[in-house]
Amino acid sequence: MNPSAPASDRPAEGAPPATFSPEVFGKYFLVDKIAMGGMAEIFKAKTFGHGGFENLLVIKRILSHLSDNEQFVRMFMDEAKVSALLQNANIVRIYDFGKLRENYFIAMEHVEGKDVKLILRKLAERRKLLPREFAVYIAMEAAKGLDYAHKRTTLQGQPLSIVHRDVSPSNLLVSYSGEVKVADFGIVKAANCAEDTDAGMLKGKFEYMSPEQASGRELDRRSDIFSLGIILHEMLTGRRLFKSDDEIKTLERIKSGDVDPPSTLNPSVPARLDEIVLRALSKDAGDRYQDARELHADLLEFLYPASPDLTQQSLAHFMAELFADEVGQERNRLEEGTRLALALHEAHQSVDLEPEWEEESPSTRTRGGTRVDAPPPAPAAKVPYVVAGLALLFAVATAAFFLTRPGPEPLAPVVSSEAAGLQTGAVQLKVGPVAGTVVVDGVSAGEGVEVTVSDLAPDTEHTVEVTADGYAPFTEKFTVAAGERVRLPVNLVKAAAPVEPTRSDVGRTPRAAEPPPGEVNVAIAAFSSNPTGADVFVDGKLVGKTPVAWDNGVAGNRYSVEYRLSGHETVRFTAALPRAGGREPYERTLVERAKADGKLSVNVSGGWAEVFVDGKKIGDTPIFGYTLAAGSYTVRARNEGIGLDQTKQVTVKAGETASLPFSAN
């Protein structure tokens, strides 16, 4: 199953896949049905091109009877319009939007993997929690994608003010290679959207709404941050944070703002991660992270010293093990669907030629790099259809002959004129000696030995990048005029073998240059702190704990230094090393972070009670995460109706939640 399908349109977990016969849908070949819901159906689809080129994507097609629903169509168009503007590695990309017959559709990036909802469900079946580093990494990468969307502007620099409004586990996708992508901007709010939400109307999944969203108030980017905080909390604890058996009760829980830190349910969650989660889940939007980049930065710092790249690799292994059975089944279905669709493509191609796939315009031919104009065709009304069809086939065959006959590749791109009146251009890449992955203007254009990219803006400088394993990257800039196709040969050159570092080089800061033989060019930096025991980073690399003498620098050079110690503010400074043979001390005092308040949770098994803290009533049980200054308190639970009146002492620690149980028996 492909996670690009919205949750409402996905089949039940464990349901046997229905048989599906591939079908032609415009230029797309639908190879497998992923899901069918009340609003849309989701397919894996393929396109086929020259030289064995294939592209896998997902088609989201709304059902025919909804094409007459103006409001739904506008919302569907808004999703396509906004998503097409978002070109980011952490967001599912949109390739195409249109209407074929009675169906509006969106063509989008295929993500081979699962959504967070299915990951957590699979782990629950095994009675396991998602490893903490993976929960942090998934939230960190999702925050990166959301920050990009939140800050996207028009070409004139006007903010689009995008708010996703439906950040939920089913819309966070994790690929089998460990990538994380935000999906489904179906109810997005943006400045250029036609569909507005009436005041008080709620859109989104209730259990993942922010307090302001649950109250029907105006939303901004901080609402998405709250929703992501809910997901991070649930990934760390394996429990639903706000969901109940009643939607109204769920919304009331969200609006109350009472949230226990994850460590109350999972003691392995450290205090720093509790702080991050609770800040993202602040009831008042002004107390939250003000943009997703702040949240990303704190999660990245927490993840250290593990790097995002290494964590992604570990997550890929984890996904491969967790979904080993599903991966094989999905790939077998895709392989069979592709085989049948390819047969459809070959049959379809022989009877339904499309001009855009011609190698050259019928009005031009190329001989030895020289363009030769052919006589203009007779008016269509005066040419019998059979003769016209034969003429077209002859023209294509002639062009193919001249384009593929042996001969040296031209040193410069060959430009051929297309039909008059076209407003865009195209580039045709011929890649060798191996197939390559093509990116044009930062957008993936497929892979193969022959790749054609259409719909390029005319009279604008474009950049093409081609990469292949074992070969140096190829980059070139080009322009194309309206109605022209640029033919660009790409000759990849083998990359030089990398030099493996020796064990003694690992973790050492590179030196600017080796001194001449016999010349001493080493200086010592003596790093110390009060209190001691701080991690010392030089140019981002850990070199030890204070006090430590560091001699891997070059005399006279300047280095960026950080001291990090748990519970203290990070100290950053620049160390200018002394002359060769010298020793320079760098002592810094670390300031302790301000201690946060603690929280108190009170519950009564077998009933309920009024709760008093030092004689002051704070509410009725259950009470979750009531904020108190660090210290000792007298807590009284009273319910005269059942004869309950108990008093206990409790100590609340800064940054922690104290849980106090009472019994009605």
Residue 514 falls inside a structural domain: no
Residue 511 falls inside a structural domain: no
Q: What is the CATH number of the domain that holds 606?
A: 2.60.40.1120
The whole-angstrom separation of Cα 614 and Cα 629 is: 13
Give yes or no: residues 377 and 229 share one domain.
no
What pLDDT, on a 0 to 100 scale, did the predictor assign at position 317?
A: 92
Query: What is the average pLDDT value for the chain, to the nearest integer?
Result: 78
Contacts of 452 (CB under 8 A, 6+ apart): 49, 50, 426, 427, 428, 429, 485
**Contact present, 223 and 208 (Cβ < 8 Å):** no
Query: In the predicted model, is pLDDT for residue 193 greater than 80?
Result: no
Give yes or no: residues 380 and 525 share one domain.
no
594-649: per-residue pLDDT in tens?
656 788 888 887 778 899 999 999 988 888 788 888 889 999 999 888 888 999 99
Per-residue pLDDT band for 493 (boundaries 50, 70, 90) equals confident
Give yes or no: residues 298 and 386 share one domain.
no
Question: pTM value?
Answer: 0.52
Query: In the predicted model, is pLDDT for residue 340 greater than 80?
Result: yes
Expressed in angstroms, the distance from the first to the final Cα of the chain is 50
Give yes or no: residues 136 and 216 share one domain.
yes
Cβ-defined contacts of 61-67 (< 8 Å, 24+):
61/25, 61/103, 61/104, 61/105, 62/103, 62/104, 62/105, 63/38, 63/39, 63/103, 64/101, 64/102, 64/103, 66/39, 67/99, 67/102, 67/103, 67/104
34-68: per-residue pLDDT in tens?
877 667 789 999 998 877 788 999 998 887 777 77
What pLDDT, on a 0 to 100 scale, did the predictor assign at position 204?
A: 58
User: What is the mean predicted confidence (pLDDT) over 432-442?
Assistant: 83
Give yes or no: residues 400 and 437 share one domain.
no
What pLDDT, on a 0 to 100 scale, did the predictor assign at position 450?
A: 82
Give yes or no: residues 455 and 401 share one domain.
no
Give yes or no: residues 264 and 383 share one domain.
no
**Into how many domains does the chain fold?**
5
User: What is the mean predicted confidence (pLDDT) over 567-583?
Assistant: 84
Q: Beta-carbon neighbour count of residue 310 at 10 Å?
A: 13
Residue 415 falls inside a structural domain: no
Per-residue pLDDT band for 517 (boundaries 50, 70, 90) equals very low
Give yes or no: residues 357 and 493 share one domain.
no
Instruction: Establish whether 196 is a catalytic residue.
Output: no
Give yes or no: residues 583 and 608 share one domain.
no
What share of the chain in percent tops pLDDT 90? 29
Region for residue 400 given its phi and psi (left: phi exceeds 0; alpha: psi -120 to 50; beta: otherwise): alpha
- Quote the domain boundaries for residue 648: 598-663
Q: What is the CATH number of the domain that holds 471?
A: 2.60.40.2070
What pLDDT, on a 0 to 100 scale, did the predictor assign at position 328?
A: 84
What pLDDT, on a 0 to 100 scale, did the predictor assign at position 378?
A: 41
User: What is the mean predicted confidence (pLDDT) over 167-196?
Assistant: 76
Residue 393 falls inside a structural domain: yes
Residue 340 falls inside a structural domain: no
What pLDDT, on a 0 to 100 scale, did the predictor assign at position 295?
A: 96
What pLDDT, on a 0 to 100 scale, did the predictor assign at position 62?
A: 82
Q: What is the CATH number of the domain that holds 578?
A: 2.60.40.10
Residue 16 falls inside a structural domain: yes
Give the burial class of 359: count Cβ atoms within 10 A of its Cβ; 0-12 exposed, 13-18 middle, 19 or more buried: buried
What pLDDT, on a 0 to 100 scale, did the predictor assign at position 594?
A: 63
- Closest Cα partner for 365 from 421, 405, 417? 417
What pLDDT, on a 0 to 100 scale, did the predictor assign at position 521?
A: 59
Query: In the predicted model, is pLDDT for residue 396 greater than 60?
Result: no
Residue 509 falls inside a structural domain: no
Give yes or no: residues 71 and 214 share one domain.
yes
Give yes or no: residues 113 and 231 share one domain.
yes
User: What is the mean predicted confidence (pLDDT) over 322-345?
Assistant: 85
223-268: per-residue pLDDT in tens?
999 999 999 999 999 999 998 888 889 999 999 989 999 999 999 9
Residue 130 falls inside a structural domain: yes
Last residue within a domain, chosen from 530, 555, 589:
589
The whole-angstrom separation of Cα 533 and Cα 517 is: 37
**Contact present, 429 and 490 (Cβ < 8 Å):** yes
Last residue within a domain, chosen from 570, 589, 608:
589
**Contact present, 201 and 218 (Cβ < 8 Å):** no
Per-residue pLDDT band for 511 (boundaries 50, 70, 90) equals very low
Give the β-pairing of 598-605 and 657-663.
parallel
CA 446 remoteness from chain centre? 19
Tokens of 554: 């070059």
Give yes or no: residues 568 and 602 share one domain.
no
Query: In the predicted model, is pLDDT for residue 352 greater than 60?
Result: no
282-328: per-residue pLDDT in tens?
999 999 999 999 999 999 999 988 889 989 999 999 999 999 888 88
What pLDDT, on a 0 to 100 scale, did the predictor assign at position 366?
A: 39
What pLDDT, on a 0 to 100 scale, did the predictor assign at position 349?
A: 53
Q: Which of 32, 115, 147, 166 is catalytic?
A: 166
The whole-angstrom separation of Cα 207 and Cα 354 is: 48
Last residue within a domain, chosen from 407, 439, 471:
407
CA atoms within 13 A on the CB side of 236: 29
Q: What is the CATH number of the domain that holds 24?
A: 1.10.510.10
Give CA separation, 92 vs 109, 136, 633, in Å: 6, 20, 51
